[in-house]
């Protein structure tokens, strides 16, 4: 379980961009973060990924205080939490399969990223994962020839192959057409049913309602909604 207690982030010498945020995300849950532009969604996700520091507050994973424990806290997050960028960074001249196998700088040693060398027995797992995400026929295609939705799914496959138990996705469907957006969210939902935890920034609240188990709503850095297992009421939507 991921647990955030009273997290506040103040930019040094600047504004407070997250104020007193508390929520939990259980294993296998699909949690959407919604809110207007500038409400702090990406900042919250980056704090969860340890890409940003917060000012006060406690972050625990499986009961372990993340900041107080290096190996069972910070190191575990770096190993098991994958951050999915809005526009995934793939190596354009490498195939989808090679991108999945090689991993990112957070997932794999630098020498492997540079040389592209992988173990033969890793191939089967990568192909299985690409198949699960409907990309088997694209495995040998160069990343630069893939569509936006396919690139996003390659990034998801890459995270899974490198052992991600939690996906932190920053607007994973931004710029994609409605059909592809739903396909990606359906894939993520199916992975949650297999035990993956997903925390995703989603701009369209109707898609968040359709696919997520829990909706966290932010307004000007404050948590204004924490809704589980149902759609948002009109009054709740007005709070965003
Ligand atoms: N380094 C920084 N210095 C000052 N302000 C910052 C910094 N980083 C973020 N902010 C501010 O924090 C607020 C929240 O930013 P964040 O990117 O989390 O918003 P968001 O909800 O993800 O917005 P969007 O939906 O437009 O991507 C914004 O007002 C932003 O300007």
Q: What is the ipTM of this complex?
A: 0.96
- Measured in Å, residue 37 CA sits from the centre of ligand 1 at 8
Residue 18 makes CB contacts below 8 A (sequence gap 6+) with 7, 8, 9, 40, 43, 44, 47, 54, 221
Q: Minimal CA–CA distance to 164: which of 225, 106, 123, 113?
A: 106
Residue of the CA atom closest to atom 30 of ligand 1? 38
Q: Return the structure tokens found at 112.
A: 């492997």
For residue 39, the ligand 1 atom closest to its alpha carbon is 21
Query: Which backbone phi and psi does 208 adopt, to 5 degrees?
Result: -60, -40
> What is the DSSP secondary structure assignment for residue 103, as one 8-state letter?
-
Counting residues of the chain whose pLDDT is more than 70, the rounded percentage is: 92
Q: What is the pLDDT of residues 118-153, one digit of tens each?
A: 666 678 889 999 999 999 999 999 999 999 999 999
**Could you give the CA distance from residue 47 to residue 135 in angstroms, rounded to a whole number?**
31
96: pLDDT confidence band, cut at 50, 70 and 90? very high
Compute, in angstroms, the gap from residue 7 CA to the centroid of ligand 1: 16
- DSSP letters, 171-207, are STTTT--HHHHHHHHHHHHHHHHTT-EEEEE-S-HHH
| Among 17, 169, 172, residue to substitute to test ligand 1 (most atoms within 8 Å of Cβ) | 17
The span from the CA of 100 to the CA of 113, in Å, is 11
Reference 156, options 147, 145, 169; nearest CA is 169
All domains of the chain in start order, with CATH: 2-238 (3.40.50.300)
| Residues flanking ligand 1, CB < 6 Å | 11, 14-15, 17, 35, 37-43
Instruction: Kindly state the average pLDDT of the residues 201-206.
Output: 94
Q: Band of the pLDDT at 113, cuts 50, 70, 90? A: low
Distance 168 CA to ligand 1 centre (A): 17
């Amino acid at each position: 379980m991921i647990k955030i207690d009273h997290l506040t982030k103040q930019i040094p010498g600047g504004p407070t961009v997250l104020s007193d945020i508390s929520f939990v995300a259980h294993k296998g849950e699909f949690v959407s973060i919604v809110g207007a532009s500038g409400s702090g969604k990406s900042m919250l996700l980056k704090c969860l990924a340890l890409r940003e520091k917060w000012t006060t507050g406690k972050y625990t994973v499986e009961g372990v205080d993340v900041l107080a424990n290096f190996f069972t806290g910070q190191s575990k997050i770096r190993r098991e939490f994958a951050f999915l960028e809005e526009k995934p960074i793939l190596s354009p001249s490498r195939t989808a399969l090679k991108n999945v196998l090689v991993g990112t700088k957070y997932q794999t040693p630098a020498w492997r990223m540079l040389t592209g060398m992988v173990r033969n027995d890793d191939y089967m797992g990568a192909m299985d994962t690409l198949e699960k995400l409907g990309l088997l026929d694209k495995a040998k295609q160069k990343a630069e020839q893939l569509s936006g939705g396919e690139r996003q799914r390659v990034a998801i496959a890459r995270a899974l192959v490198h052992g991600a138990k939690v996906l932190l996705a920053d607007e994973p469907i931004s710029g994609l057409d409605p059909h592809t957006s739903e396909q990606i969210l359906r894939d993520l939902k199916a992975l949650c049913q297999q035990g993956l935890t997903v925390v995703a920034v989603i701009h369209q609240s109707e898609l968040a309602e359709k696919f997520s188990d829990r909706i966290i709503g932010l307004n000007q850095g404050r948590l204004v909604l924490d809704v589980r297992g149902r759609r948002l009421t009109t009054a709740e939507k007005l709070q965003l």
